[in-house]
Amino acid sequence: MHEVSVMSSIIDSVLEELKGYQVERVEEVDLTIGALTFLGEEQLKFAFEILTKDTLLEGSILVIDTEEVEVRCLSCDYLGPAEVLENEGFHGMVPILHCPRCGQGIEVTKGKSCLVRSVKAVEKDVPIQG
Ligand SMILES: [Zn+2]
C-alpha cells in the first residue's frame, strides 16, 4: 500500500519538526495532497492512525486538503484545469492530460503536492524556575 510509505515519511518529518518544541500533545495535522498523487484519502487516514500509535501524534486529527490539477500548455500558453482522458490500456489508473484548448501536451503546475500545511500542537506548561 503506497499510502503507508508516504504517510510514514510525512509523520517522520512532522515528528522531526516537533523536536524543537516542548509539545504536550498534537491536536491536528493538515495535509495538502494533489489530485495527481493518486493517494486515497481513506487509506491515508487509516495509515495515519496506525503509524501514529505510541508517538506524539497519537489521537490527533488528520485533515486532508485536495489540490486540484492545474496545467500549463507549452504550445498555446493555456493555464488552468486539464482535460483528463482515462488511459484504459493501463487499468484506467493513469490519466492522459491534454490541453483543453489545443489538445497538445502540457506541463503540470499543480496537483502533485504532498506536503504538511500545518500542525496544531499544545505546548507543555513549563513552570518558570525562579
Ligand atoms: Zn494548448
Does the CA dihedral 34-35-40-45 come out positive or negative? positive
pLDDT (tens digit, 9 = 90+) per residue, 10-67? 999 999 999 999 999 999 999 999 988 989 999 999 999 999 999 999 999 999 999 9
Whole-number Å distance between alpha carbons of 5 and 82: 28
Spacing, Cα 97 to ligand 1 middle (Å): 11
Spacing, Cα 35 to ligand 1 middle (Å): 21
95 — pLDDT class (breaks 50, 70, 90): low
Residue linked to cell 490541453:
99
Spacing, Cα 11 to ligand 1 middle (Å): 39
Q: Kindly list the domain boundaries of the chain, sorted by start residue.
A: 2-123
Give 2-123's CATH code, choosing from 2.40.128.20, 3.90.1150.10, 3.30.2320.80, 3.40.50.300: 3.30.2320.80
Spacing, Cα 16 to ligand 1 middle (Å): 42
Whole-number Å distance between alpha carbons of 36 and 11: 21
Whole-number Å distance between alpha carbons of 121 and 58: 12
pLDDT, mean over the chain: 88
86 — pLDDT class (breaks 50, 70, 90): low
